[in-house]
Structure 1
Amino acid sequence: MNGPLAMDDPPCPQPEPDLTLWGVVTAVQANYYWVSLDRPEGEPRPCAALLCIRRARLKKTGQRVMVGDRVQVADPDWEGQRGAIAAVDPRQTVLDRPPMANADQMLLVFAMAEPDLDPHQLSRFLVKAESTGLEVLLCLNKQDLVTDQTRRIWQHRLRQWGYDPLLISLRQEGSWADLQSRLQHRITVISGPSGVGKSSLINCLVPEAELRTSAVSGKLGRGRHTTRHVELFALPQGGLLADTPGFNQPDLTLTPADLGRCFPEIRRRLAQDSCQFKDCLHRDEPGCAVGIDWDRYDLYTTMVTEAEALQNSQPSRRSGQSAMKHKVGEGGEVHQEPLLQAKKYRRVSRRRQRQALEDFHYTTLDTAIDLDHLDDDSHEQRR
């Protein structure tokens, strides 16, 4: 008999709550996010990763999702391997270039040859890496292309800078065993100029990555860009490795005061003694504890001059006066060029050109019609 349930009837089964999972964003493609799911013991997953979208609530609140974010995935579709990101855990660290969250350390990869190791370029990368606040790990690839004396000279020089580089060769199997141990159970961002072997190194550390590689340009002596976006790869021994697009000269937007904190030589000397003035820029000012007797002093003063020029050009841009733009040359030198007046030199779009032609056409047509009417009126008056 149909009707309301009696008091002693069993209750209707309640719907199961939405299944929520946790994972790490490994890649971002347009508005889609690949999330590698956690795999707790005793809880098998139908698939290891899901292609997710961002919930509308996160979009409305302006919550950005970055590679490396730890996220909560709701409503998984195991058959279609899809899901939705419902929440983002607070980030421990954030990088702007490359866009990356929760990184533990930065691995800078340079080549000792093909292309040749440039101390100026290397220093700019090191300063950029130091400015992130992450631990910096320096790796020099292609050691088999240089002599033992060259390797010893660079090792001694870099130790004076404050770094203990790892020398490897991808042609010598096992030469990167020490590097593997330094990457275990950590999220590492790999960076460096193009053509030094970053993609090849990842293919050795993560064979299933199968990244595309490219040879060094013989004409320019520089590498070609093969990585186009940030992507995380799981290391077999544990940990994650983030591949980033290569670039030949990193942008340095530091203030003159911040530059000193990005040089281990300056930090080491200031730990032993302090300068006479708090705003000392360590350019041989009176009472400076840093001095000038260190290898990268000239390079440091050049960077401070560039930072001062960039800092002085910003107020003029805000006040509406003509500003200068800064361009970095192939050798890392910075020079200024005046900004062109946008309205004077801006190219007219094809749409506006088409609209102008249509307006001219209709104006000409209207004028022709008016002239026809004028001729008709004159003819009638003569009759």
Structure 2
Amino acid sequence: MDFAYDAKTEELRARLLAFMDEHVYPAEAVLEQQLHDAADPWERQPILEELKTEARRQGLWNLFLPDSEHGAGLTNLQYAPLAEITGRSPHLAPEALNCAAPDTGNMEVLAMFGTDEQKKQWLQPLLDGEIRSAFCMTEPDVASSDATNIATRIERDGDDYVINGRKWWSSGAMNPNCAIFIVMGKTDPDPDADRHRQQSQILVPRGTPGITVKRAMHVFGYQDYAHGGHAEIEFKDVRVPASNLIAGEGEGFAIAQARLGPGRIHHCMRLIGMAERALELMCRRAASRVAFGKPIAAQGVVHEWIAESRVRIEQARLLVLKTAWLMDTVGNKGAHTEIQAIKIGTPLMAEWVIDKAIQAHGGAGVSQDFPLAELFAATRTLRIADGPDEVHRMSLAKRELKKYL
């Protein structure tokens, strides 16, 4: 394993770091003001569109897709340090580069499983940043940590499918530019059927009759405007053409697993950037403030926080890079253990580092004057999103025990 950045990665890192310094970090305060002044904060704010235009002009666009036909053609190992950089400003940089969830996962699904017509109608506008999308999987009425529990019904009726059910945490759905939902539901209700072959995924255009976006879900009190929010949605007798089904009946669970593998590592890459931003803020704050007659940076407990933060970040980064390398060399299935390990460990690492940075800032740490509170909320949420810690621990333990049973 050689995790040294190759020449292409180094060149992209330099360009992206400059883009962050020149455009993204200065835009954070601008976005905050534009959201404050907006009549409808869900509308795309001008600063985001300016960043997207500039990123595309600089060739910093669709970096996440390894498919060179649709994306930048980077390996996971090449993309990892770039995603880490965008994680330093998670509410601006990923979308500016057209690398924001849930669009990334939805584009991957369409690239891998979509028909030519589905790609033309939905993938290309997503790749071009002309529209946004939502992924509708989690449900309020069942324990969605077990995806086979999903109860939303997708029923064949002649040349159509009819969808009935209720979803929530449908990321991106509050964005007015969200034009398409990928909905996961049950096409085979037979209780004796293979529980991993009962689900399917289908494309549902936003304006289809019977769709009601009931409310935006708050994340620790935040609306998460920059990500297009997270919606609760009701589907009542929603009718779409049978050609909107993705891959085929019973393929929904397999599609979800193919989608979540890259999504989980992308989150972990960005989490390292979030932790690095928090550590930088902690060091700057500790060096600039005096308490009890000496700089906060001279306090022993702060030394401990800073040193431990560096150790934890480096450990997590190495495991994420190993996982990216395995995904490139043996595939997602071969990297399954490591994907689960980073999904467990990286959010816990970032949560710990950000918590200590908040503590070093005192009251300022929980205020709107620093990004730490929002970073903490996002990090804590990722211990639930894409599978809660407990599910990954259970699966990982079973895999380890299998060697001895």
Q: Which structure has the highest strand share of the two?
A: 1
- Asked whether the two chains share a fold, i.e. TM above 0.5, the reply is no
Q: What is the TM-score of this pair, normalised by structure 2?
A: 0.24
Q: Which protein has greater RCO, CA pairs closer than 8 Å, 6+ apart?
A: 2
Q: What is the TM-score of this pair, normalised by structure 1?
A: 0.25
